[in-house]
Homo-oligomer: A and B are copies of this chain.
């Protein structure tokens, strides 16, 4: 528990008392995220300037109080959970800076800006900010930066990290540093920018980011292809990419996902199909007009049983509706959704589907699979009921086996959700003892007192998977 003296010292830094929350009911709002577990912080502060963050971080460091930076709490891996109490830095209120510089083609943002707002502002200036996590209408850029968020456009455009060229960061010791800058090319020393992005708030608190923008594609074109055999859909993906076409999105839905959506809202989806691909091309109108025909041909020659090309924006929206309804559709079946993001090399998609089928049958779990097939970033989602302890034990075992399968196939624990608390127990399985130790050395050299987001990424002794909120 934090002593009143500390609260008093925080008040001297944040001179607006409304931005210091100590009421139990407020603290509870900051005790969870979109993953599992409930942990009450001792106090929540809402900084709105770098100086406040730096001074409070210095204070926390001096008194060795854990600090948990947080955006909108949409993390699926436990990134912002205050697992050791202490102070939550709610950065979501610090949303006053969103500058679009058309000449340098960058956006300069404060950490609390909503991600979709950046893309919207860029679009008004004829550009885009490509990273598009599903939560982009809700999540803050600060959270996206901490977790290196992905999204469907990752296949062609990469992930959050690929767009960050400069940062202002408060170190765990409360010092302010700037990394990178406004130039795309920069090899002056170690790349701290790309080290801090994706470090899940364990190495520093991002107080400003310079993001690279891209020219806005002139047009898009959407196609849906249906496959009776999921192996054929995998082959179609490879054939499309090796034909020289790089779609902006390439999403897959398996039979269980198709049926969940169709049961939720009848869209006329092919409920017998083993897989459905949704493909979007973007670029010059003449180019994608030609390419969409080639994609159609490739799908047909890869045994697609049906191919639908959208001829209008409305038709395209109609096709994408199937994908958009996946999340609401599956949570209607049971209340607890365990959303994984085990990612494998593209060539291993058919094998991964086979493994997932075996895991589903072995543990009698309700498993649906969809995701960003173009880059091997699948989302196996298990639908369960947390209150059923016996079921949850089976789910925990199934999740472990999903991780094992992904790693065995040359993939990774996490493609875009991060490690947080949830996957920390599995880190050594992927990285080995030394690989993990080299990461830990960086953490210890930057944060010797372990005050910034402690309990994340690195497993605690004996830590195991927890999928309950008890």
Contact = CB atoms under 8 A, between A and B. Distances in A.
Contacts of A439: 189-190, 192
A187 B183 contact: no
A165 to B, nearest CB: 10
Contacts of A413: 188
A295 B385 CA distance: 58
Contacts of A415: 183, 185-187
Given A181-B410, A445-B445, A346 B287 contact: no
A177 interface: yes
Contacts of A443: 190
Contact of A411 (B181, B189, B246): B181
A417 interface: yes
A438 interface: yes
A179 B435 contact: yes
Number of copies: 2
B290 A187 contact: no
A159 B162 CA distance: 11
Contact of A104 (B105, B181, B345): B345
Interface stretch (A9-17, A58-66, A214-222, A325-333): A214-222
Interface residues of A, number: 96
Nearest to A183: B343
A216 B187 contact: no
A273 B372 CA distance: 50
A419 B187 contact: yes
Nearest to A176: B434
Interface stretch (A262-270, A296-304, A424-432): A424-432
A213 B347 CA distance: 14
Interface of A: 101-106, 125-127, 147-148, 150, 154-155, 158-159, 161-162, 171, 175-179, 181-192, 194-195, 197-199, 203, 214-218, 238, 241-246, 283-284, 286-287, 290-291, 343-347, 372, 375-377, 410-419, 423, 427, 430-432, 434-436, 438-439, 441-446, 457
